[in-house]
Homo-oligomer: A and B are copies of this chain.
């Protein structure tokens, strides 16, 4: 299945997007479904994904992005957010959703609900926030792979001002915070980075068989 490797070798952190090229609604539909299907701890999905096309909002976000123009030039900007607090109500909504999808009496899931509440209870507020934010990184990994499959360019970014994003997007009021940013679209012909050889550690340095 060399296609996987061809795709992963094709992708790179795009430096300059072609601002005239847009991701089709069909591909956006697929990519948002990929985000929705992201695995997460317990399946709790303590996440929300913003798909931002609005130029005015993106202009404001550019000011919080250390001048990385991909934020405004890309077709769409994905902001991956996690909940600030994951409380019992999240668990209860989740258990309700399982019961509904699998057509089970909710009582049958009481043990699972208790188990999750107990485990979340072992974490204090900052630990829970951190745990939720880590789940966004799983989403990023799966998403970048899907973008590469679809030959859509992407620029994963940790380097932005999270507080600035939270403010511009009003995330605090929604119990959310921005974790990762990922502009998507199509590389500009002018982006010289597309011609650079991919640099990765040698397999022997990063993989160990035991």
Interface residues of A (CB under 8 A from B): 1-2, 4-5, 8-9, 11, 13, 27, 30, 32-39, 41, 43, 45, 47-54, 57, 94, 97-98, 101-102, 130, 133-135, 137-146, 149-150, 156, 158-159, 169, 196-201, 203, 206-210
Do A207 and B4 have beta carbons less than 8 Å apart? no
Name the distance in Å between A111's Cβ and chain B's nearest Cβ: 16
Name the distance in Å between A184's Cβ and chain B's nearest Cβ: 14
Do A201 and B45 have beta carbons less than 8 Å apart? yes
From A50, A54, A135, A208, name the one whose CB has the most chain B CB atoms within 10 angstroms: A208
Do A102 and B51 have beta carbons less than 8 Å apart? no
Query: A interface, by DSSP: helix, strand, loop or mixed?
Result: helix
Give the contacting residue for A156; candidates B9, B39, B97, B140; CB below 8 A.
Answer: B39
Q: How far is the CA of A13 from the CA of B40 in the complex (A)?
A: 10
Do B199 and A51 have beta carbons less than 8 Å apart? no
Set of chain B residues within 8 Å of A37, measured between Cβ atoms? 5, 8-9, 198, 200
Give the contacting residue for A137; candidates B11, B51, B101, B138; CB below 8 A.
Answer: B138
Do B200 and A36 have beta carbons less than 8 Å apart? yes
Do B45 and A206 have beta carbons less than 8 Å apart? yes
Name the distance in Å between A102's Cβ and chain B's nearest Cβ: 5
Give the contacting residue for A207; candidates B30, B35, B41; CB below 8 A.
Answer: B35
Q: How far is the CA of A2 from the CA of B54 in the complex (A)?
A: 27
Set of chain B residues within 8 Å of A2, measured between Cβ atoms? 30
